[in-house]
């Protein structure tokens, strides 16, 4: 808005300056045409005999004044010290002759004065009214410089033209103002939408990470419980003097701890943390988990969306496979990049999803799991579907008596 106000001001100033220049150059042109009737020879003679031709020169200056509608018309000439003096001038009115103090030379005129250059300046008279002074050199018949003719014109016409131009530009100013208001409205609307979108994203991220935190916390509790049991066993073996058995037991624990480390390298930090937590959970709950992740950052999908897809699909896979016995617990996780397309796959051994439920499992609130008090059900797959559609991808599910597989395909531009 400040910029627009400045733009309007500069437009007004530029228009006013253009009008002044136009009137100034027009005044010079008109004055040059008017003085063609000026008797140069008579004025040249008056320089040597001023009193003889004074009335003739004044009459000619009055004619120019009347013809141009000027306020004052006079002739100036620099003296030996380059100080400007008035040599002749038009009369103030028809009754009273011009005196020596009729016209005051402005400092701007003295500053810009040049003998053989036509120019104009904008000045103010004693009543603070604007004037345009056109200065035109007078050359004798032999081409010698004899002085400069000054025509002082009122700038009322310029003011009227300026007002008229401004009046005609009112629609432009209104349109410009409306454009500013429209831009401001768009900006505010965008800010509101952006804050709402950020709030939604933060809420989704917090919900996802809270869920993962609770899962990790549960896993840590299980590890702590097992750790206390292991310490008690080692302590008991040491008390009965079976250091050899205690050593063997510690070695077996070392091997078990090593299995907690991921067998694959995952470049995406958030995906690495998620899979690591799920891997630890799989080890604690005796789930045979297989992992295959391409050496890729998956940067063409937002991290929070990547986590939403895998966390919900993997959690569903755990819920399904934990129903069976330990020998049948199996989850396979894949994240591949094939021809500008992400392919995410989560497979598990567990109960078969009925065919009449395959189209319903992605609906919000629909779930095949038994309800638990205080635990919402049926939102995970609907969230996955929303994320997949956001990127123009597809999600397919296949379920039979052996396994259930969810496959997500998301295209991207390289």
Return d(Cα 285, Cα 176) in angstroms, integer: 68
For residue range 111-154, list pLDDT tens digits in order: 888 888 888 887 776 666 777 888 888 888 788 888 888 888 77
**What is the rounded average pLDDT of the residues 313-322?**
93
The residue with greater pLDDT, 11 or 306, is 306
**Host domain of residue 29:** 2-168
Confidence check: pLDDT of 333 > 70: yes
Same domain, 338 and 396: yes
Phi (first) and psi of residue 312, to 5 degrees: -70, -40
Residue pLDDT, tens place only, 31-44: 788 777 788 888 87
Q: State the pTM of this model.
A: 0.48
* pLDDT for residue 97: 47
Whether the pLDDT of residue 214 is over 90: the answer is: no
**Does one domain contain both 177 and 193?**
yes
CA distances from 402 to 11, 331, 344, 369, 399 (A): 78, 12, 20, 19, 8
Do 325 and 306 fall into the same domain?
A: yes
* pLDDT at residue number 409: 95
C-beta neighbour count of 210 within 10 angstroms: 10
Show which of 185, 214, 244 is a domain's final residue.
Answer: 244
Statement: residue 244 has pLDDT above 50 = yes
Total domains, the chain: 3
Poorest-pLDDT segment among 67-76, 157-166, 270-279: 157-166
Residue 182 lies in a domain: yes
In angstroms, the CA 389 to CA 97 distance is 95
Query: Do 63 and 134 fall within a single domain?
Result: yes
Residues 6+ apart with CB under 8 A from 264: 291, 292, 293
Of the candidates 220, 244, 268, which is a domain's last residue? Answer: 244
pLDDT at 201 over 70: no
Per-residue pLDDT tens over the stretch 394-410? 999 999 888 999 999 99
Q: Residue 221 falls within a domain, yes or no?
A: yes
Radius of gyration of the CA atoms of the chain, in A: 48
Residues 137 and 94 in one domain: yes
Residue 127 and residue 13 share a domain: yes
Q: Does 356 lie in the same domain as 221?
A: no
Same domain, 397 and 269: yes
User: What is residue 141's predicted lDDT score, i.e. its pLDDT?
Assistant: 79
Residues 357 and 322 reside in one and the same domain: yes
Q: Can you give the CATH number for the domain in which 135 is found?
A: 3.30.450.20
Q: What is the pLDDT of residue 99?
A: 44
Let me know if residue 253 belongs to a domain.
no
């Amino acid at each position: 808005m400040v910029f627009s106000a400045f733009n309007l001001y500069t437009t007004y100033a530029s228009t006013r300056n253009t009008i002044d220049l136009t009137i100034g150059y027009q005044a010079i042109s008109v004055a040059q045409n008017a003085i063609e009737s000026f008797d140069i020879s008579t004025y040249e003679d008056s320089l040597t005999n001023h009193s003889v031709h004074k009335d003739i020169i004044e009459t000619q200056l009055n004619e120019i004044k009347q013809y141009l509608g000027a306020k004052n018309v006079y002739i100036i000439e620099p003296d030996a010290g380059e100080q400007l003096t008035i040599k002749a001038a038009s009369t103030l009115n028809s009754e009273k002759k011009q005196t020596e103090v009729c016209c005051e030379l402005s400092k701007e005129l003295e500053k810009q004065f040049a003998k053989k250059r036509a120019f104009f300046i904008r000045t103010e008279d004693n009543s603070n009214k604007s004037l345009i002074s056109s200065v035109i050199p007078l050359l004798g018949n032999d081409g010698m410089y004899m002085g400069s003719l000054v025509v002082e014109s009122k700038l009322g016409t310029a003011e009227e033209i300026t007002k008229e131009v401004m009046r005609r530009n009112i629609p432009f100013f209104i349109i410009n103002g409306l454009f500013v208001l429209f831009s401001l409205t768009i900006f505010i609307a965008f800010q509101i939408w952006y804050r709402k979108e950020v709030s939604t994203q933060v809420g989704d991220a917090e919900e996802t990470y809270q869920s993962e935190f609770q899962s990790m916390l549960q896993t840590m509790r299980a590890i702590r419980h097992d750790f206390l049991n292991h310490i008690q066993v080692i302590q008991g073996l040491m008390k009965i003097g079976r250091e050899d058995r205690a050593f063997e037991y510690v070695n077996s624990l070392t091997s078990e701890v090593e299995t907690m480390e991921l067998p694959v390298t995952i470049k995406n930090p958030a995906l690495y943390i998620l899979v690591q937590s799920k891997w630890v959970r799989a080890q604690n709950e005796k789930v045979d988990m297989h992992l295959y992740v391409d050496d890729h950052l998956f940067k063409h999908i937002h991290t929070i969306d990547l986590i939403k897809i895998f966390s919900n699909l993997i959690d569903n896979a755990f819920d399904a496979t934990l129903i069976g016995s330990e020998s049948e617990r199996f989850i396979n996780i894949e994240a591949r990049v094939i021809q500008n397309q992400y392919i995410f796959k989560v497979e598990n051994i567990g109960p078969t999803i009925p065919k009449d439920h395959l189209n319903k499992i992605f609906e919000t609130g629909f779930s095949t799991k038994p309800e638990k008090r205080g635990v919402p059900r049926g939102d995970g797959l609907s969230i996955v579907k929303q994320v997949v559609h956001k990127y123009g991808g597809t999600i397919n599910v296949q379920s039979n008596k052996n396994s259930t597989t969810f496959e997500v395909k998301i295209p991207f531009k390289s």
